[in-house]
Amino acid sequence: MKISSWNVAGIRACEKKGFHDWVAASKPDIICLQETKALPEQLSEELVKPGDYESLYGSAERKGYSGVSTWVKKGIEHKHSIGLGVEEFDIEGRCIISEFETFILFNCYFPNGKRDHSRVPYKLEFCRKVATKALELKKKLKKEVIITGDYNTAHNEIDLANPKTNKKSTGFLPIERDWMDEFQEQGFTDLFRTFSPDESGHYTWWTYRGDCRERNIGWRIDYFWSTNEFVTNVKSCTHSPEILGSDHCPINLEIGIP
């Protein structure tokens, strides 16, 4: 089974830049989208009823902001729920939780801490709620959990091109990176790093300024993490930096289902 995740930075804009071509060529079984920035009624028929997929949108109350969407190939049994059950997060359209036969999938758009760091406390509250909810569901449903999406944090120096000049930037603040250490200690694994533990130069987001994408001056802030016990089911975890259409690139997870 293939799961792909992509912060599309506005699904309507991305649709005009080859989004449907990517879906047709890549053929994921499950697609998790973040920062859709639209209500379903604002979208084309092809985005609302996308052919081979069933789609669900978790939109923000504020128009043109945030939002997530999960697409599942028809014929794959699943159940969805929108949100974490916490109003201050759910009004921003940041999470869809999907239950499949053998695992649970969180599609999350983690908050940005903002340049003045004013949203960092909100961001960390969201992060901790996601981890808590995931562990609760693991225990209740007796299924392992995958958490994918735009985490808006680079975990270690290897995960961004210029760590020294970004130590005071949100997305690489010590307090944000400490949460990822905490996340790991709670029993979660960064799946990309199980395959490429020491390789630098692997990024998923590049600013539009200064030809940074062409020069590969970026950040790895989009992830697949899972509960530790799920790791043995993972065949590969890759990035697709050649796919344009957003300032992020898609990330991909191949899993074997027992």
Instruction: Give 10-residue mean pLDDT values along the chain (258 residues).
Output: 98 98 98 97 96 97 96 97 98 98 98 98 98 98 98 98 98 98 98 96 96 97 98 98 98 91
pTM of the model: 0.98
CATH fold of 2-255, please? Deoxyribonuclease I; Chain A (3.60.10)
Backbone angles phi, psi at 4, to 5 degrees: -120, 145
| DSSP letter string, 192-211 | HHHH-SS-----SB--SGGG
| Token pair listed for 135 | 């562990």
User: Residue 127 corresponds to which tokens in the numbers above?
Assistant: 């992060």
The pLDDT value given to residue 257: 79
Residue 42 is encoded by which pair of tokens?
């604002």
- Fill in the DSSP letter of residue 210: G
Paired tokens of 10: 């506005």
Residues annotated catalytic, as ranges: 150
Q: How high is the pLDDT of residue 258?
A: 62
Q: Which two tokens stand for residue 153?
A: 């944090």
